[in-house]
Amino acid sequence: MDKILRIDMGAEGGPSLTVFPVGEFAGLGGRALTSAIVSKEVAPLCHALGAENKLVIAPGLLSGSVAANSGRLSIGCKSPLTGGIKESNAGGMASQTLAKLGYAAIVIEGKPKDGATYKIVINKDGATVKADNSLKMLGNYATVEKLAKEYGDKPCFITIGPAGEMKLSAASIACTDMEGRPTRHAGRGGVGAVMGSKGVKAIVLDDTGASMRAPKDPEKFKEANKMWVAGLKKHPVTGEGLAAYGTNVLTNVLNEAGGYPTNNFSIGRFEGHTKISGETQAALETERGGLATHGCHKGCIIRCSGVYHDKNGQYLTKQPEYETVWAHGGNCGIDDLDAIAMLDRLDDDYGLDTIEMGATIGVAMEAGLAKFGDAEAAINLVKQVGQGTDLGRILGSGAAVTGKVFGVERVPVVKGQALPAYDPRAVQGIGVTYATSTMGADHTAGYAVGSNILGIGGKVDALSPDGQVDLSRNLQIATAAVDSTGMCLFIAFAVLDQPETFQALIDMINAFYGLNLTGDDVAALGMSVLRNERDFNTRAGFTSAHDRLPAFFTNEFLPPHNIKFKVTDTELDSVFNF
Amino acid sequence: MKIEMILYASLGKMAPHKNAGSPFQVELEADGTVRNALEKVEIPARHPLIIFVNGRHSGFDDRLNDGDRLAIFPPVAGG
């Protein structure tokens, strides 16, 4: 990973490719690298869909090695959804493959003048860009099927669907999984629209002939990875809980806690929760011949994913995640797992962020476009996005735009990005993260749900504002560092509870790169990432006024606890006091 | 007194009806605690468990009241 591939899609005479040494960005990976490049090279006031924006795709520091769970890919740019910096990351096979091919990053710049649809092909011999208009407006599934016919089923593919080509702000970027399906998405912030604006439909990554990345100190690395694997297997969540029920085990937990946003964040419990819970989902998947346990990339030992079959036992989609089941389920009053799985499939195929789309349908239901609980209407609304109707384009632009167009007051967004599956009134710590994250509302940016609800990484009372700012700050710093390693964020459950597992992670990085980092250095890395991102957002026009939740969270009581968000503005403004 | 108990995820098999997520009634002494309720379903009162009483985090020695809703999870997480 000592080189950066830069592709100027707007070059005279057609796209040009240049390979540069990693240079000043040496030692950075994943989010640290995407945010460093975007912060340094992208004009903060540029139009996110213009030639000045850049799409940066980077594997993590340990991706492409044998380190367990090191296969997350970071994708950065200026976000068309938030107007700020964006790093959205995904599982699937792309990160390991790109790292094995030796690239620290691909930077896609400029904008083609010819309106053609392009594909980028990267293998051990180099990279090429070709126009391929036969891919235009295909869904992600049809796109990868066509690419697999041409390039075989060995490569992995990074693609966008029609939503990205239409440059809709909820558009995602899909990465294929171990089975070659386009199911793992960099979902948040409209990164798919930026890829679409560059005219790039697909990136083909073929690592045939490439080796696993070799550590500087193989013996120490092997030993550290052994400790690492043992730590992940030992922790009850990473070793057992996530594999058995998947992420959707949280439906019942958040419902019990009274923090499960229902009917567009109007109440904190959903009557139909057991019908769509992880327990029910896992049993149904097993009964129909799908899989309740499945890893999204080679080297994953947590295996929180699954495979969802329809009533006829045919593959429909990957196991919809908790966030998706909530967004299209309880948030819309829908208690039908088959309908939710269909919505997940449509989102994946059109290339849409499931959180943004579920929140958007919730807002549309509040506006009266459909009734809460009407699954068929929800499916039809999402289909309109894929068809590119006028209404579909509004919905595909996200919850904030939809709320504005239809005059809705209760619109759950921060910095224009929809809130995920935890009501910040009943989980006050995650409210601090939603409000202050550089990314807009993003649960992964500082997962305070662990300490507020799950008893992981200590305990902080979910219903009290006390201690939430410190909790969120520390988690945001740690997360920015983890997002730079290529590690799946779920490793944090073990790392937060087991000091020896955290040490094993540091030891792996040190052995791999010949370094002597300490825990303090890891925190310093996280802080530097956040500083880069905050700096970009400030130059893009963001102020403390953007670090706030929508007013209804401080004005409206949430049943059953009848509680409001109580962290003060002054406290929120102290999150980034470093 | 009677409380409503719900066991989730892998603890469901410890419920009288063996179902995760379905409530059942448990009869306790007037000053019964979470620990006493766990004894009734033969779940050892040792961490890690996630315990909610009426939607609020609780501990093993917290007192219960007639009509309380006690929900117990094994260590789980997602996101």
- What does the block give as tokens for A144? 């990868």
Checking DSSP bridges between strand A85-90 and strand A73-78, what pairing results, if any? antiparallel
Is B71's Cβ below 8 Å from some Cβ in A?
yes
Closest by alpha carbon to A401, among A455, A445, A360? A360
Is B23's Cβ below 8 Å from some Cβ in A?
no
What phi and psi values does residue A575 have, to the nearest 5 degrees? -60, -45
Instruction: Measure B44 CA to nearest chain A CA, in Å.
Output: 16
Contact A258 B9 (CB under 8 A): no
Contacts of A365 (CB under 8 A, 6+ apart): A263, A264, A332, A333, A371, A372, A374, A378
Partner residue opposite A256 with nearest CB, options B47, B52, B75:
B52
Asked if A508 and A67 touch (Cβ cutoff 8 Å), the reply is yes
Size of interface A-B (CB pairs under 8 A): 94
Asked if A79 and A56 touch (Cβ cutoff 8 Å), the reply is no
The matching CATH number, chosen from 1.10.3470.10, 1.10.10.10, 1.10.569.10, 3.20.20.70, for A244-423 is: 1.10.569.10
**Per-residue confidence band for A251, with pLDDT thresholds at 50, 70 and 90:** very high
Residue pLDDT, tens place only, A375-430: 999 999 999 999 999 999 999 999 999 999 999 999 999 999 999 999 999 999 99
Residue pLDDT, tens place only, A514-534: 999 999 999 999 999 999 999
- Give residue limits of the domains in chain A: 3-205, 244-423
**Per-residue confidence band for A1, with pLDDT thresholds at 50, 70 and 90:** confident
The predicted model gives A471-490 an average pLDDT of 96
Is B46's Cβ below 8 Å from some Cβ in A?
no
Contact A237 B76 (CB under 8 A): yes
* H/E stretch holding A120: strand A118-123
DSSP states of A512-533 as a string? HHT----HHHHHHHHHHHHHHH
Contact A256 B71 (CB under 8 A): yes
The predicted model gives A430-438 an average pLDDT of 98
What percent of chain B is helix, strand and coil (3-state, nearest 5)?
15, 30, 55
Q: Can you state the angle between helices A337-350 and A375-387, rounded to 10 degrees?
A: 10
Partner residue opposite A236 with nearest CB, options B48, B56, B57:
B48
The matching CATH number, chosen from 3.40.50.2000, 3.40.30.10, 3.60.9.10, 1.10.940.10, for A3-205 is: 3.60.9.10
**Per-residue confidence band for A104, with pLDDT thresholds at 50, 70 and 90:** very high
Question: Is A98's pLDDT higher than 90?
Answer: yes
Partner residue opposite B50 with nearest CB, options A248, A455, A560:
A455
B13-47 b/e (C-beta count within 10 Å ≥ 16 → b): eebeeeebbebeebebeeebbbebbbeeeebebee
Residue pLDDT, tens place only, A339-374: 999 999 999 999 999 999 999 999 999 999 999 999
Average pLDDT, chain A: 97
Q: Which residues of A touch B47 (CB under 8 A)?
A: 455
Specify the 3-state DSSP secondary structure of A469: helix
The predicted model gives A447-470 an average pLDDT of 96
Is B75's Cβ below 8 Å from some Cβ in A?
yes
Contact A252 B73 (CB under 8 A): yes
Contacts of A143 (CB under 8 A, 6+ apart): A135, A157, A159, A161, A182, A201, A202
Residue pLDDT, tens place only, A137-164: 999 999 999 999 999 999 999 999 999 9
Contact A241 B52 (CB under 8 A): no
Is B44's Cβ below 8 Å from some Cβ in A?
no
pLDDT computed for residue A242 by the predictor: 94
Specify the 3-state DSSP secondary structure of B65: coil
Q: Is the dihedral of CA A550, A556, A558, A562 positive or negative?
A: positive
Q: How far apart are CA A478 and CA A201, in angstroms?
A: 33
Is B52's Cβ below 8 Å from some Cβ in A?
yes
Is A59's Cβ below 8 Å from some Cβ in B?
no
**ipTM given for this complex:** 0.97
Partner residue opposite B8 with nearest CB, options A252, A490, A560:
A252
Q: Does domain B2-73 have CATH number 3.10.20.30?
A: yes
Q: How far apart are CA B10 and CA A296, in angstroms?
A: 23
Residue pLDDT, tens place only, A447-457: 999 999 999 98
What is the DSSP code (8-state) at residue A25? G
Partner residue opposite B77 with nearest CB, options A241, A257, A277:
A241
Residue pLDDT, tens place only, A49-95: 999 999 999 999 999 999 999 999 999 999 999 999 999 999 999 99
Is A120's Cβ below 8 Å from some Cβ in B?
no
Q: Which residues of A touch B7 (CB under 8 A)?
A: none
